Amino acid sequence: MNSVGALERGLKILDLLIEVESDPIRREQGLSVQQVALELDIHKSTASRLIQTLVSRGYAIANPAGRRGFRLGPAVEVSSGLNMQQRRLTDLAHPFLVRLVEETGECAHAAVASGATALVIDDVETGQPLRVVSGTGRRVPLHCTSAGKCLLAFGLASIPSELPARTGRTITNPEILQLHLTEIVQRGYALDDEENHSGVRCISVPVYNGAGGAPVGCIGIDGPSVRMIETEIENQAHRVIEVAQELSAKLGEDHLLPVG
């Protein structure tokens, strides 16, 4: 199956999922692999692979009702609420996140500001048996996650009025948080040092619309603190910075059609 054919079939499956979602009876059952195979006139194994690809990117999920069908995933809602630059980041970030996973051995994420939260627009899991649970479409706090603090520090979000403690390391004083955000800008990356979940460290770096452009969102890595030890933070952060710079350059490329 060539890439265009796979894309067309993937879009058709999304159409089928949307149809199922609009019908209360069908939504309870979900969309089965056999239904996809029949609708697209393909083998069940091919249908299963296509659906699993959509699941891995958050566009489909196993039916929460416990049945064997599939439902629309959170990434569909994510895509519908993004501005143009955020959509471009979503479209371009995935291979860069894959590279981060390969180079760091940790899960990788891309996030943008969405109201009073950071919205994860893409996630790539590591193959490590011990890893941070991830998921495209999840919303995380601004004040105690690396993604959220990165968005705050680089002007993409505002400090929330309430700063609840998630762990004993969470910064809950707005003045101290503001000083912390200044440090983030100076060093070029944000660190969640077990501030949102005990035993988890995360690093996030801003992504810009080209060199010298405006910030759009951030990318980063998440890992268990037993592996992301303090002495390795700087090295890991520099890897993320390098990949973020390359993604920023990609975002800044001129995609306008030539005149004349």
Confidence (pLDDT) at 182: 97
Residue 77 pLDDT: 60
- Do the Cβ atoms of 97 and 108 come closer than 8 Å? yes
Question: What's the confidence (pLDDT) of residue 20?
Answer: 79
Closest to 224 in 3D by CA, of 117, 104, 139:
104
**Class of the CATH-defined domain 3-72:** mainly alpha
Which amino acid would we find at residue 114? S
Q: What does the pLDDT read at residue 101?
A: 96
Q: Tens digit of pLDDT for each residue in 63-79?
A: 776 667 888 776 666 66
Q: Which tokens belong to 33?
A: 């692999």
Low-confidence ranges of the chain (pLDDT < 50): 254-260
Among 138, 118, 201, CA closest to 167: 201
What is the predicted pLDDT for the residue at 59?
Answer: 81
Q: Residue 71: is it exposed, middle or buried by C-beta count within 10 angstroms (0-12/13-18/19+)?
A: buried
Domain boundaries, the chain: 3-72, 79-251
Q: What is the pLDDT at residue 258? A: 44
Determine the pLDDT at residue 104. Answer: 96
Residue type, 95: P
Task: Give the integer Cα–Cα distance in Å for 49 and 222.
Answer: 27
Element (H, E) at 224: strand 215-224
| Residue 45: its H or E element | helix 44-56
Give domain 79-251's CATH architecture. 2-Layer Sandwich (3.30)
